[in-house]
A and B are shown apart, each in its own frame.
Chain A
Amino acid sequence: KAGVTQTPRYLIKTRGQQVTLSCSPISGHRSVSWYQQTPGQGLQFLFEYFSETQRNKGNFPGRFSGRQFSNSRSEMNVSTLELGDSALYLCASSPGTTSGTYGETQYFGPGTRLLVL
């Protein structure tokens, strides 16, 4: 199976602009999670989508949003970009279950590196 793919791989924006990042999960995976990685804060959870619904949410401002399509592909959007939004944005997918005892292994894509000038 193909792995998780993310586009674009690199992006440069200026403050105040908005950006949309795309993630295609592993075929058959229904859960997609987004993470922000910076040298100072490490890997931080943004949100998780399952069946086109946001199932979990991290502690990020409302400028960060996402959505998931019926084919499980997901996009995340950041509006009114700030310098501090410069980071590697990682997408991870997992099979996705609505019940079960344990969490699932998530498989990461290569990330989109965003630079805000």
Chain B
Amino acid sequence: GESVGLHLPTLSVQEGDNSIINCAYSNSASDYFIWYKQESGKGPQFIIDIRSNMDKRQGQRVTVLLNKTVKHLSLQIAATQPGDSAVYFCAPLCGNNNDMRFGAGTRLTVKP
């Protein structure tokens, strides 16, 4: 099955700094990737996605980079705010299979 790992289980940044959250995946057939944010007491919330035919996608304050060669993706958050404090998950998907295999997640803490 899919093996998904996150390089850093915790990340602490200063408010206003940029954050980078990494994710490695093992299935080279994965062709669609989603980043979710989960705040305490809530369900995961969609942040941004990227398809395998792209290597970069930008949203509002967030950018996802995909490196298929090394099976790695990252989520960059610009000007991190206290409201960004949460656990972040990446979810690789393969084809039209909706079976998402999440990694452990990275806990981002933003210090004021």
Given contacts A42-B103, A42-B104, A42-B105, contact A103 B46 (CB under 8 A): no
Q: By the criterion CB–CB under 8 Å, are B98 and A103 in contact?
A: yes
Q: By the criterion CB–CB under 8 Å, are A103 and B95 in contact?
A: yes
Q: By the criterion CB–CB under 8 Å, are B101 and A103 in contact?
A: no
- Among A4, A48, A101, A102, chain B packs the most CB atoms within 10 A around the CB of A102
Selected interface stretch from B11-19, B20-28, B37-45, B58-66: B37-45
21 A-B residue pairs with CB within 8 Å = A33-B100, A42-B103, A43-B44, A44-B102, A45-B102, A48-B99, A50-B98, A56-B97, A90-B43, A90-B44, A99-B96, A100-B96, A102-B32, A103-B31, A103-B32, A104-B96, A106-B34, A108-B43, A108-B44, A109-B43, A111-B42
Report how many residues on chain B are interfacial, defined by Cβ distance under 8 Å. Answer: 27
Give CA–CA (A58, B99) in the complex, Å.
Answer: 8
- Apart from A48-B99, A96-B98, A102-B32, 17 more pairs, CB < 8 Å: A33-B100, A43-B89, A45-B99, A56-B97, A90-B43, A92-B43, A99-B96, A101-B95, A102-B96, A103-B31, A103-B32, A103-B93, A104-B96, A105-B34, A105-B46, A106-B34, A111-B43
- Among B1, B43, B45, B99, chain A packs the most CB atoms within 10 A around the CB of B43
Given contacts A43-B89, A103-B93, A105-B34, contact A31 B98 (CB under 8 A): yes
By a beta-carbon cutoff of 8 Å, the part of chain B in contact with chain A is 1, 31-32, 34, 36, 41-46, 49, 51, 89, 93-105
By a beta-carbon cutoff of 8 Å, the part of chain A in contact with chain B is 4, 31, 33, 35, 42-45, 48, 50, 55-56, 58-59, 90, 92, 94, 96-111
Give CA–CA (A48, B96) in the complex, Å.
Answer: 12
Contacts of B44 in A (CB 8 A): 43, 90, 92, 108
Q: By the criterion CB–CB under 8 Å, are B49 and A101 in contact?
A: no
Which B residue's beta carbon lies closest to that of A93? B98
Give CA–CA (A92, B18) in the complex, Å.
Answer: 30
Contacts of A90 in B (CB 8 A): 43-44
Q: By the criterion CB–CB under 8 Å, are A43 and B102 in contact?
A: yes
Give CA–CA (A58, B100) in the complex, Å.
Answer: 10
Give CA–CA (A42, B5) in the complex, Å.
Answer: 11
